[in-house]
Structure formats: structure tokens, C-alpha cells
Structure 1
Amino acid sequence: MFTPEGPGLRELAVQALSSVERGYDLLAPKFDHTPFRTPDAVLDAVGRALSSRGPFGHGLDLCCGTGAGMGVLRAVCRESVTGVDISAGMLAVGRERPDSGGPRAAWVRGDALALPFGPVFDLVVSFGAFGHFLPRELPALFAQVHAVLRPGGRFAFPLPAPAPPGSRRYWATLGFDAAMRVRNAVWRPPFVMYYRPFRLGLVRPELERAGFGVELSALPEFGRLPDGSPRCRLVVAARRP
């Protein structure tokens, strides 16, 4: 997909007709060569922003995939880093990465809606995974994150601004989401992945209802839109004592 090392059209078709878990198991060996991997520019910007708030003790990468975000945790967490994901295939690739983290890192298979941890983390991050959760699932998701954080612990993730209406990105995300809705209406098992519903106006109230205090800051590396608003924000939600 877009590179010689990425999956071909047939592979993508098989993955798209699978469940989320099975689809990512199949995609895992080539995932880092697709546009679905979080760009290094985003990871680096978040890492810089978090470094001024740290250091932290124990960190969790929620829906870690092959572990691109684990490097952010290793840079800002002194004690340990843990990645959790539902796909055994993605975790297997992550464990084999040269920068997998060694003895400081744990790779755990688990469901983000039923996390297998107690309140032991000081920082939870997540990159590019929220499209796999329907809006009605966000209260349960945020409650799980709240439950695994220590009091005062933080949940941080980048949140790009919505694509301007009429832009190329606007039509691309609209078309992708429409195609996924049609696919899920006629094919089972469903593959939940939608780009457009996860927006600040929905996310912030749900975080606050889950017991978080929410702080927003611009990621200056990505500039601003013509109206002056940031192209990408860092959302930092602190668990209230």
C-alpha cells in the first residue's frame, strides 16, 4: 500500500473483510509500511510536549499496535512501559522491534474495554486507535483508562482538527467512513474504524464525566488553521483525586 513493502490490494481486501482483531493480525508484518502507522512527526511532537510535564513512573500505551508509541513512553517514563493491544500479531511484531524496550517493557494482549490492570500507571498514551470505538463506547473506554491510572495520573493523546469542508482530507475521510458503514451493514464480522466521529466536542465532555480534568495545548509543530485554531492539539486528561 503506497510502498513496495506495504500490503497489496488483495491483502487489504482480505483484511478489510475480517474482524478488527483478525484484520490486524494479518496486517501486522507490513503495518509499519502503511499510512495507518502514526507518523514520527506526531510521536516526536507529543514526546516533546510530555517531557515538560514529566518525568513519569509507569506508562501504558493503549492499543499499542506494533509499538510506535512505546518510544514516547520510554523517553518520559523512568520505571516501566507497557503496551496493550487486542491483536496478538501486532504485539508479536512489536516485541521483535530493535527498540522494543528490553526488560523495562511489557507487551500484553488485552481488550481496551476490559483492561487487565489495576491503578498502577502514571501516564497512559494512545495514538491513532480511537476510530475503532463507536461514540457509545467512549464512556466505557474512558472509565477503563481512569481505572488503571493512579490519582493524578494523566491520559494524553494527539487530536487533529477536523478537515476543512471541501478539502482533500475532508472528502477522503468522508468517503472512507461511508465505505466502512456500507461494509458493516452488509458483512459480518464488523470492522469498526471511522475517522470522523472522534472530535473534541464529543471527547471532552465524556472525559470529564469519567472523572478527568482536561487540559488542551497546541502542538506548535503543525501550525494553525486560517481561523487561528491549532491544526493539532494535545489532550491531557488528569485523573482527579
Structure 2
Amino acid sequence: MFSPHGPSLRELAVQALSSVERGYDLLAPKFDHTPFRTPDTVLDTVQGALRNMGPFDHGLDLCCGTGAGMDVLRTVCRRSVTGLDFSAGMLAVGREGVRSDGPSRVAWVRGDARALPFGRVFDLVVSFGAFGHFLPGELPGLFAQVHSVLRPGGRFVFPIGAPPRPSSPWYWALLGFDTAMRVRNALWRPPFVMYYRAFRFGDVRRELTRAGFTVEHQALPDFGRRPDGSPRCRLIVATRGSGTPRI
């Protein structure tokens, strides 16, 4: 799962015993060589869907990491693209790796997604693979923050995968990982919040609606369907209305 250029087991252990911010600062130089980076298949599929919705003027990649989603935004946003992350190390790698030429201005901002340092300026907000770093109780505030930086009619778009069935090895792998993280956080400080099973479709849809979004979703056909016919991956499209979020 890790390339030869990825982190060693010792490096991963040091990162896992750090805070989330410090852990990602340490991981940043090798992050793109780990399975934690959003796969190109996901990025390409979301990019195609956004092209059908756009174009947009100003886009924000929430919790942008090293910038995989920034390249997606550059293809659908005509005026500006902004990446926000709280890890200075991840932002530094992103600045070096993402092209800044083209019609869209590119900016990198260090900040907390739970307290966004922007006004109502964006037409599009995307996020890839970052929601496991937020506890369920933080979702109302997080979604209210996104709502506050979108113009009326702006969209908050992100993919969400279906949880694996108990018959799948991935179910037990993710359960084991989340259990290990909970034990780690019970015994060690500072905590490292990274839970793969806490971000559930029903909860997400409910909290987005409470935050003032109109929520739609569509199957991403490239990832197929489960035996019961439900999609393996959906694209959430939450559109900002003109009202005030309810938190």
C-alpha cells in the first residue's frame, strides 16, 4: 500500500503519537506516496461531475493537504482557487507541487476549517478525504462555517463512500483501525482524531440540511454498485440557500 518513497514504520509511529497538525507536518514530504492521498480515480470522477455543474468563479478546497483537489478546482474555476489547511507542512508541499499558471489565481491559506477566515466569497467548496478528522459533534459547526463562506446558490461538493459490509475484510480493517485510534486517544495526549467509520451518509445529509443547505446526491457510476443495488460511492451536492444556518 505504501510506495518505496513513502514513510517508514518508525516515521508513521512518530506521526501517530503526535497531534493531528504536527503529525501531518511530519508526514507532508511523503504524503503523496501513501494510500492516504485521494486516488486519482476519485479526483477524475468528481472533476467530470463538476464540469457538468460549472463553470464556477471562486473555489475553495477545504482541508486541501498537498493539493490534490486544487488541480480539480483549477479546471472548473475561472477566477480563483484557494486551498485551506491547518498543516504548514502540507501547504508547503502543495505550493511546490501545484501549478500556479493559468486563468485562476491560486492561494494557500493556513487556517482551521472550524473557523474559516473568509467572507461570503466562494461559489464552490470541495473537500476530499478529510472528514475523518472531525468528531460527529463538530459537523454542525463545520457545515455552518462552509455555509457562511458560500454565496447564495454556491455549492459544497464532496464524495462519500458506502460503508463496507461486515462480510468484507475492509469492514474489519476499518473497525480495527478506529478501535486502535480510540484506545490510543484514551491513553495518549494530544489526541489524533482520525476515524474512518464516523462520517455516515444519513448523519451528513441531516446536518447539512440543518445548516441551511439543500442536499442532493448522485451515484458515481465509475465505482459500481453493491449487491443490493446501492452505489458504492455518492457525490454530495449541497447548495446554499439565502437563509441563516441553524446550529
User: Cα RMSD (Å) of the superposition?
Assistant: 1.1
Aligned residues: 241
Residue type at the aligned position of 1:61: D
Provide Cα deviations, 1:25-69, integer angstroms capped at 9, x if missing partner. Answer: 000000000000000000000000111000001000000000000
Counterpart CA distance in 2 for 1:223 and 1:187 is 40
Write out aligned runs for 1:50-61 (5 A): 50-61=50-61
User: In structure 2, what is the equivalent of residue 240 of structure 1?
Assistant: 241
Counterpart CA distance in 1 for 2:208 and 2:120 is 17
CA contact (8 A) 1:94 1:100 kept: no
Pair 1:210 & 2:220 matched: no
Provide TM-score, normalisation by structure 1.
0.98
1:100 positional shift: 4.8
User: In structure 2, what is the equivalent of residue 141 of structure 1?
Assistant: 142
2:173 is paired with a residue whose SS is helix
Counterpart CA distance in 1 for 2:62 and 2:175 is 26
User: In structure 1, what is the equivalent of residue 245 of structure 2?
Assistant: none
Cα 1:29–1:165 shift into 2, 3 Å: same
1:99 positional shift: 2.7
Cα 1:60–1:191 shift into 2, 3 Å: same
User: In structure 1, what is the equivalent of residue 79 of structure 2?
Assistant: 79
User: In structure 2, what is the equivalent of residue 226 of structure 1?
Assistant: 227
CA contact (8 A) 2:70 2:98 kept: no
1:179 is paired with a residue whose SS is helix
1:2 positional shift: 2.0
Question: Which deviates further from its counterpart, 106-115 or 164-173?
Answer: 164-173
CA contact (8 A) 2:66 2:93 kept: yes
Counterpart CA distance in 2 for 1:198 and 1:230 is 16
Write out aligned runs for 1:60-99 (5 A): 60-99=60-99
CA contact (8 A) 1:5 1:33 kept: yes
Pair 1:111 & 2:77 matched: no
Q: Percent identity?
A: 78
Which runs of 4 or more aligned residues in structure 1 lie more than 4 Å from their structure 2 counterparts after TM superposition? Answer: 100-103
